[in-house]
Amino acid sequence: MNKKRLHLKYTQNFLRRTGLVTALIEKSNLCEDDYVLEIGPGKGIITKELAGMVKQLVAVEYDYSLYRYLNNIFSRSTNVKIVKKDFLKYGLPDNKKYKVFSSIPFNITAEIIKKLTKLSGAPEDSYLIIQKEAAWKYAGRPYFKESLASLLLKPYFKFKIIHRFKRKDFSPIPDVDIVMLHIKKRRELLLKEGMGRLYQDFLAYIFSQNNGRLKNKCKKIFSYRQFKHLARDNGFNLNVNPTDLDYEQWFQLFSFFSSGSGMTEEKQKMIKGAYSRLLKQQERLDKIHRNRNCW
Q: How wide is the angle at C-alpha 158 spanned by C-alphas 36 and 94, nearest 5°?
A: 40
* Total number of residues shown for the chain: 295
pLDDT digits (tens, 9 = 90+) for 158-191: 999 999 999 999 999 999 999 999 999 999 999 9
> 19-33, 213-227, 275-289: which range is least confident on average?
275-289
- Rounded Cα–Cα distance for residues 250 and 247 (Å): 5
- Rounded Cα–Cα distance for residues 173 and 15 (Å): 10
pLDDT exceeds 50 at position 6 = no
pLDDT exceeds 80 at position 31 = yes
Contact assessment for residue 138 and residue 151, using Cβ atoms and an 8 Å cutoff: no
Map out the domains of the chain as residue ranges: 3-185, 196-293
Question: Mean pLDDT for the chain?
Answer: 91
Confidence of residue 209 (pLDDT cuts 50, 70, 90): very high
- Rounded Cα–Cα distance for residues 90 and 177 (Å): 28
The pTM of the full predicted model, rounded to 2 decimals, is 0.91
Q: How wide is the angle at C-alpha 135 spanned by C-alphas 171 and 170, nearest 5°?
A: 10
Question: Do you find a cis peptide bond into 172, omega within 30 degrees of 0?
Answer: yes
How would you classify the pairing of strands 80-84 and 56-61? Answer: parallel
So what CATH class is 3-185?
alpha beta
- 8 burial type by CB count under 10 A (0-12 exposed, 13-18 middle, 19+ buried): exposed
Q: How wide is the angle at C-alpha 95 spanned by C-alphas 92 and 97, nearest 5°?
A: 80
pLDDT digits (tens, 9 = 90+) for 99-136: 999 999 999 999 999 999 998 899 999 999 999 999 99
For residue 294, what pLDDT is reported?
47
